[in-house]
Every structure is written in structure tokens, then in C-alpha cells.
Amino acid sequence: MIDDRQAHAFVPYPDAPVPHAATGTLAGLSFAAKDLFDVAGYPTGGGNPIVLALSGIKARTAPTVQRLLDAGARFVGKTVTDELAFSMNGQNAHFGAPVNGAAPDRISGGSSSGSASAVSNGLCDVALGTDTGGSVRAPASHCGLYGLRPTHGRVSLQGALDLSPSLDTCGWFTRDAATFARVADVLLGADALPAPTRLLWPTDLWSQLAPSAEASTHAAAERVQAVLGRATPVNVVLDSFDAMYWHFRYIQGREAWETDGPLIERYAPPLGPGVAERFAFSRGVTNAQVAEATAFRERFTAHLDALLGRDGVLLLPTMPDIAPLRAEPESGLEDYRNRAIRLLCAAGLARTPQISLPLAGRDGAPMGLSLLGPRGSDRALVAMAERLAAAGVGR
């Protein structure tokens, strides 16, 4: 393991005291929070110098952060986020690129890059992140971690900076299933639904795997099915992959511009590569595109609801491949991001939970498999992860 001077996972704020309960279900664990969450005594920078300059020192702590503190977890710092949380690469033009603890020559993935870096480098036990288009699931896959995108709205994002509110969720990372479950008990509580039991194989989503990743990922999927049962083939995509991709981007883009456009227009901040282009795209999204995308979202949600019912769980690759190399040019990273959205957008559009498990990999780098269940099945998905870990299913 390396220290933070080498990992670049934390924003170098001066330390401020953050009290935590002396006892509780998370006592003995340390945690960090992505620099979108307010923590009393710290600014909230959002990965952008203008946002940081405007922030001031916060007087209140975000409720989700406070729940971890009240359960006995010890706060150790705020982690680097991709700029305005609008990236999936983990490379911030202003604050640097947090190091992937599982594959240091490869990107950590964003926008919860610092949180994944901190956990994968052993600098804390747990780290909070956010997932709009894949910003927990992607770095979890890249860094060999457990990571959850919860049912939309299940974990509070009060006191956190928005990107795209109808897509934004609060998730977290750990290195092992047992620790992940301890946090789940605090942040999720119990599911209101019966635990799903029917494993499904989304054939169309599996087609998005890079050929070089197929052998390892399919082998990992066989080990999962040996514990959870054989998966029944289904098709998830509605209309086409392009339809899924563009409707997701139109919704995300419009909401991102509504959130950050006023700041960008007033201060004209120098935005980093990729981020600048995505906000330029977002500014141009039309009302007609948003209306069509919103209608598609409702159709897709009904489609996925019918497919999952109350007891179905999709088994799918989290990402199309292992993390790209840090030296990959921006054009290559953007191509990878666009391929990944085709895998990641289903949960965002339908507001369903998806957990990434560190079960596969190739060439010495990790890769995640995911379980995606009906809305409200979050804790059951974590329990499935616990079952797989207890059965010795892993890389």
C-alpha cells in the first residue's frame, strides 16, 4: 500500500475536527467522503476551483456523512472528484489523477475517483461516492472494489452538490463484502420487498464486452451461477443501444446544464478536457430531445419492471473491459466512456439498484461483475454479495 502523497486520493484541505460516536455498528472503521458532500469545518470544492472559491467553510455536515459518524466510523478526509462530477475517467485537470490501487498504470475511473483510490490503496475502509452515469460502478470495477448504485433516492444526497438530480445517487466503496454489508445496514436498512431469487442473463448487454475480457468474465459468471443458480437469458435493451445511449445523455445533459450552466456562464471557468465538451453538448440539448428522452425513460422503466418483476436479478459485466491505461489519449478515454454508458445506463434510466463485485479481471487488472435488481432490492443485492464471498467466489 502507498500513502496519500503517492495516491493523490485526498483533497489537501487543512484537517478539521469531525466528531464521531465512540461506539456503534461502524466503530473501528475509517471513512472518506467525495468532495461533493458537505462536512462541517471543510469547504466543498466539487473538483473545480471556482466552486471551491465560492464554497466557504461549511457549518453543517451532510446527513449521510453524519449517519456514518453517528454509527462510530471515523472521518479521515475529503476525496478528489472529477470536475463537477461530469466524467468517468478519474483525471481532474486541476487536482490531478488519483492512483488506482489495484492497477497503478491504469485510470481509477470517475467521478468518484478519489474515493475508489483511497479504499483501493488501503487509506480508509469505506468511502462515499456518487453515481449518476456510472461514477461508483466504473471505479469499483476498475479498482477491484465493491460498489453500489442504490435505488434512486434511497440514500440521501441532501447536503451534496448536484449534477443531474433525477439520475444522481449516493453509493460507497469497500474492499470486502462484510464491511460493505455493515455500511449497508446503516445507510440502507431493510428492504421492503422479499429478496429476489431469479437470476437473469441479459444477452444483449453481455455483447458489449471487449473480446479480450470475455474469457475471464464468463468464467467469473459461471462461479456466480454455481452459488446463485443458473441465469435465464433475456434481452434488456429497448429499441436499440443508440436509443438507450442518447436518451440517457439528453436527460443527463439538460439537468447538468440546469445545475452548473449558470456558474459556467457567469464565471467562464477553464474546464478540463472532456468536461468542457460535455457541458457544451449539454447546453445544446433541446426541449424536444428532453421530451422524447423522458417519454422513452418511462417506456424503458416499464419494460425493465416487467422483465425483473419482484424476484429477478440481472447478472452482467459492470464495464466493457478493464480500466484503460493512464497514458491513453483523451480521444481513447472518451470512446471507452461512450461504450461504457451503453452498459451502465439501464440502472440510471430505470432508477434501479446495481452492485459491482470484484470477481473478474485480466492482465493483472480487476474487472467487476454486477447484480441489478428491482427498485428497493438494494439490501438483498448486498446479501447476494455476502453469499458469494462466503462461498469463496472471487478473483
Q: Which amino acids are annotated catalytic?
A: 34, 111, 135
SS3 128: strand
Do 159 and 37 contact (CB within 8 A), yes or no? yes
Residue closest to 89 by CA, chosen among 332, 369, 351: 332
Integer CA distances (angstroms), 363 to 122, 138, 176, 218, 224, in order: 22, 18, 22, 16, 21
Alpha-carbon span 150 to 373, nearest angstrom: 10
SS3 250: helix
1: cell is: 500500500
Alpha-carbon span 10 to 325, nearest angstrom: 21
φ, ψ at 382 (rounded to 5°): -65, -40
Do 80 and 46 contact (CB within 8 A), yes or no? no
Alpha-carbon span 338 to 263, nearest angstrom: 26
